Structure 1
Amino acid sequence: MGSGEGRFCRILGAEGIAATGLEPTPTLRATARNRDPEGCYVDGRAEALPFADASFDLVISYLTLIDIDGIDQAIAEMARVLAPGGSLLIANLNGFSTAGEWRRQMDGSPYFRLDHYLEPRTEWVSWRGISIRNWHRPMQSYMQLLIGAGLRLAHFEEPRPSGGGKHAERFARVPYFHIMEWVKA
């Protein structure tokens, strides 16, 4: 889902795993194809996947769930294209990090302010000339949809960062992202 410029597909390919990248943004899809001419990059959106039922043994959503407006359709579609016994791997920004922001106390020391965690909302973020609307959703939104799609949670982790200096220190104070594996019965 949302393969972007294809980095993760190239990593999988280097490990001998044939990957199909789905990307709705023409510029990112073209970049992926230029960087990986032998790769398979498909135009499409997670809310209406252009694949047959049970097409994949493995579906990966790597930092994309926060970008999808129709999350209920997207999760249902991911479950639909997943073969029985297959795994859905998700790496997503943690709701704690998307519901808050770093601030400074009077003495200049940083603290993290969390507010309105249970209220889904969007905000625009920009980097490297790209602007995208990110969603904050509480964890229960994802969990209820994944369970409702008939998937079983097999693994959950909020990994502690390593390396990265001051950024790793901040991400160790507030969980930045999580990793989940869901299995289709």
Structure 2
Amino acid sequence: MTNGWESSAAAWIADQGETGDFSRRFVLDEPMLARVRGRGFANALDVGCGEGRFCRLLRDEGVATTGIDPTPSLLAAAQSRDPKGEYLEAGAEALPFPDDSFDLVVSYLTLIDIEDSTRGIQEMARVLRPGGALLIANLNSFNTAGGWMRSDGPVQGFRLDHYLQPRAEWVSWRGIHIRNWHRPFRDYMQPLLATGLLLRHFDEPEPHGDTATANRFRRAPYFHIMEWEKPAARATTGEPR
């Protein structure tokens, strides 16, 4: 079974445009970029780069960025929009790079698409240099376990059910039909902790503005951002402990 991304690529590219959808433009972009600016990152890997939008934003911040994605049509769009950029076809579970290759690794709303997220997390940690940062934006696990309730009128509230049961679910909007994964927080946090990475930042960013869409994003948990640091290797003196 495919994950739907290749058949949905054209609709996704049209939906994102050049600047991204509401959640990217008004919720996630600024707090994600704030974790990058002024940090001196020389190079970055964008895991699941899609059509390359965040790669271009990182480049605008002065970070040389490589994008990987398993979807050929999305990579073709990324390369077309950024002819000098580096985009490679690869999945998160088998990154084609040596250990300790990147100062910054980014997973921007991609963990929910990765079938073996534990392996993907291990690979992201592996290619990160000591002292480097793994920056994650993900759909909140409460969000992926729930949905809005309606009763022939306005939205009544947000219902959460079967939270502890990991599962793949198909979601559809505006011509896009893809498979996402719901996992409880532990299924992300435990593999991240097991890599030895250190949690340095956590946030659940609010949307900008006072519109009906922004207020809906405030009513239920949508996203979270995490930054994890790979500890620098300890110097050895050769002296007995």
- The one-letter code sitting in structure 1 at the alignment partner of 2:96 is P
Equivalent position amino acid for 2:137 in 1:
A
Residues 88-123 of structure 1: CA deviation (Å, up to 9, x unaligned): 000000011110000125774421001111111111
Between Structure 1 and Structure 2, the one with more strand by share is 1
Alignment match, 1:112: 158
**Alignment counterpart, residue 99 of structure 1, candidates 140, 145, 149:** 145
Among candidates 148, 161, 179, match of residue 194 of structure 2: 148
SS at match of 2:92: coil
3-state secondary structure, aligned to 2:126: helix
- Give distance in 1, aligned partners of 2:94 and 2:74: 19
Normalising to structure 1: TM-score of the pair? 0.95
Is the contact made by 2:204 and 2:224 (CA closer than 8 Å) also made in structure 1?
Answer: yes
**2:105 maps to 1:59:** yes
Distance, in Å, in 2 between the alignment partners of 1:13 and 1:119 is: 38
Provide the aligned length of Structure 1 versus Structure 2. 185
Query: Where does residue 216 of structure 2 map in the other structure?
Result: 170
SS in 2 for 1:92: strand
Cα deviations across residues 34-78 of structure 1 (Å, max 9, x unaligned)?
A: 000011101100000000000001000000000000111100000
Residue 77, structure 1, aligned to residue 119, structure 2: no
Q: Tell me, which stretches of 5 or more residues in structure 2 are unaligned? A: 1-46, 232-241
Alignment-derived partner of residue 88 in structure 2? 42
Q: How far apart are 1:175 and its partner, in Å?
A: 1.4
Larger Rg: 2
Say whether the 8 Å CA contact 1:105–1:111 is kept in structure 2. no
Q: Does 1:32 align with 2:73?
A: no
User: Could you tell me how far apart the structure 1 residues matched to 2:122 and 2:203 are?
Assistant: 22
Name the aligned partner's letter for residue 50 of structure 1: P
Match of 1:184 in 2: 230
Confirm whether residue 10 of structure 1 aligns to residue 56 of structure 2: yes
Partner of residue 137, structure 1 = 183
Change (3 A) 1:127 1:107: closer
State which drifts further: 35-44 or 118-127. Answer: 118-127
Shift in Å at residue 127 of structure 1? 3.9
Normalising by structure 2, what TM-score? 0.74
Corresponding residue number in structure 2 for 1:88: 134
Kept in 2: contact 1:57–1:82 (CA 8 A): yes
Calculate the aligned-residue CA RMSD, in Å.
1.4
Q: Normalized per residue, which structure has more helix?
A: 2
- Cα deviation, residue 163, structure 1: 2.3
Answer yes or no: is 1:157 the counterpart of 2:226: no
Contact residue 3 and residue 21 of structure 1 kept, 8 A: yes
Pick closer, same or farther for the CA change 1:126–1:164 going to 2, 3 Å: farther
Judging changes above 3 Å, is the alpha-carbon distance between structure 1 residues 149 and 103 closer, same or farther for their aligned structure 2 residues? same
Match of 2:42 in 1: none
One-letter amino acid of the structure 2 residue matched with residue 102 of structure 1: W
